[in-house]
Structure 1
Amino acid sequence: MSETVQRYRPTTGRGGVDDLDDPAPWTGPAPLRARAVEPGPPRDRAIRGRNGETIAWTVYFLPAPDLTGEDELVVRGDRCRVQILDWRSPYTTRTGLVALCTLGRG
């Protein structure tokens, strides 16, 4: 089973702001096929949320797509910033990518 999420990427490569710190345009949406979507953080990563951020979704990709920490994902209607981590299956030797999707609401 899989789910499609949408990736948005800033055109500047500086986290969505231009050289004057004004909002930059984003490219997207680009559909990405996620292996699984889990609500909230996984138990071993529960403390990864930063001040004022809540990890709303954990998205697993296998194989790893073109996704960076400056991108944003739309997961089940929520547009989120992402923290990117390497992921290794606990059952096989496969590796992939996990995206912790955070909302700016505390």
Structure 2
Amino acid sequence: MSVDGDIEADVVYGCYNDNPLQAGTIRARLAIEDEHATIASVEADLHFDLDDFQQGHGDGVQEQLRELLVDEVFAVDEDVMDQGLLFARLREGLPVFRADSQAEAH
């Protein structure tokens, strides 16, 4: 995918490995490169590049995600973030960030 300009979103999750995501700058609260190369500058509160995310399941990646994201996006049996659960909540317009979920509850 090639974007002529910048991308601004809460979550940018690259998860398809045949082609890279190309853009000027990606600005996001969370940016994850999972089996997906990114050709762009990334300005994110939390960013996992391809190497960090693929190799980091035991190196604090899940712990950082757990601090940021709501429990509902984690697979119960594996205790790891599940991209399908994350995408479902995003499609439904439900909060995926803990801070947003807590603010909505008040």
Structure with more relative contact order (C-alpha pairs < 8 Å, separation 6 or more): 1
Structure with greater proportional helix content = 2
Query: Which of the five TM-score ranges fits, normalised by the shorter chain?
Result: under 0.3
What TM-score do you get using the length of structure 1 for normalisation? 0.20
TM-score, length-normalised on structure 2? Answer: 0.20
More strand by share: 1
